[in-house]
Amino acid sequence: MSYILRGTAGENSDIRFFAAITTDLVEKARKIHNLSPTSSAALGRLLSAGVIMGCMLKGEEDNLTISLNGGGPIGNVMVSANSKGNIKGYVSNPQIDLPLNSKGKLDVGGAVGTNGTLNVIKDIGLKEPYVGQVPIKSGEIGDDLAYYFAISEQIPSAVDVGVLVDTDLSIKAAGSLIIQMMPDADPYLADIVTYRIKEIPPLTTLISDGKTAKDILNMLFDDMNLKILEKIDADYVCDCSKERVERALISLGKDELKKIKDQDLKDNNEKLEVCCHFCSNKYYFNRKDIERLIEES
């Protein structure tokens, strides 16, 4: 089961952290979208960090969407998360795969590209959602999210994300760390944390070796007043339904619905197929269904 640990460290709780083990969650996404190894790594990294960012939201009904498109062959990478540990996502080109990069790793940066923007949209119950946007720096996702936190939210943050794909293409390990310094924290603390993150083995190595999120946190903060405040279950969940799809169709407007009826559903036996980007569920609408939606719109 995937999960997130939330807590603090430092003598005065100057450090806030979230640590997530997301192997099962990312494997679920891989199966739904039939992802290639490179696409698994790209979407898995954004899912692993995004599920934490969703849990940073305070309201029960709050949610956020993260998308990045750097002009690379994978196209758009998008996730949508809520404050309860649920997340869903997709990539435009799930079968894209590239040769390993110069470090012998899956080339997520090459797949994503750097000619574009990372966008974060937070719906927190206000009239207008909060929108943050920064240029994509590396396409490796962790670096880009750290840059987003520094520029858009002005919170110095370390973001570590990793996905290890097994030889049978399944997800062997996936997880993420987001560590943030609180206002007025001693800058020396940030240096210590940065050093320790670099000194420990890669996140996916630790997870595949059986280390828990608590084990990893102990490696980083065992002598720094570590406090684990909450454990949150995390899962890949799509909340689509025929009713939601109907509302989306109604939002197209009467003119567009009439075009669908007249051009795509001339025969009463024909059906409009609508496929959910996030879970691949298919919903079907016949001519009478569209006529009803025209009336309702």
Q: Hey, how many other C-beta atoms are within 10 angstroms of the C-beta on 261?
A: 20
Instruction: Verify that 110 and 184 share a domain, yes or no.
Output: yes
Instruction: Verify that 138 and 256 share a domain, yes or no.
Output: no
Look up tokens 């939601």; give the residue.
Answer: 244
Block means of pLDDT (10 residues each) for the chain, 297 residues, are 95 93 98 97 98 93 94 97 96 94 92 96 84 95 96 92 96 97 84 89 96 96 93 95 89 86 77 90 88 84
Instruction: Verify that 278 and 225 share a domain, yes or no.
Output: no
Instruction: Verify that 281 and 206 share a domain, yes or no.
Output: no
Return the pLDDT at 287: 85
Find the domain containing 73 and state its range.
2-236
Instruction: Verify that 80 and 194 share a domain, yes or no.
Output: yes
Give the residue from 185, 204, 236 where a domain finishes.
Answer: 236
In what helix (H) or strand (E) does residue 244 lie, and over which residues does it extend?
A: helix 242-250
Return the pLDDT at 159: 95
Instruction: Verify that 156 and 281 share a domain, yes or no.
Output: no
Instruction: Verify that 221 and 255 share a domain, yes or no.
Output: no
Specify the CATH number for the domain of residue 284.
3.90.1280.10
Instruction: Verify that 258 and 116 share a domain, yes or no.
Output: no
Return the pLDDT at 261: 81
User: How is residue 158 annotated by DSSP?
Assistant: E
Instruction: Verify that 148 and 216 share a domain, yes or no.
Output: yes
Return the pLDDT at 260: 83
pTM: 0.92
Specify the CATH number for the domain of residue 136.
3.55.30.10
Residue type for position 242: K
Within 8 A by CB and 6+ apart from 223, the residues are: none
Instruction: Verify that 83 and 155 share a domain, yes or no.
Output: yes
Angle at 177 between CA 211 and CA 195, to 5 degrees: 90
Look up tokens 């993150």; give the residue.
Answer: 197
Q: How many domains does the chain have?
A: 2
Give the residue from 196, 218, 236 where a domain finishes.
Answer: 236
Give the residue from 197, 218, 236 where a domain finishes.
Answer: 236
Instruction: Verify that 42 and 147 share a domain, yes or no.
Output: yes
Instruction: Verify that 167 and 77 share a domain, yes or no.
Output: yes
Sign of the CA dihedral running 96, 79, 148, 5: negative
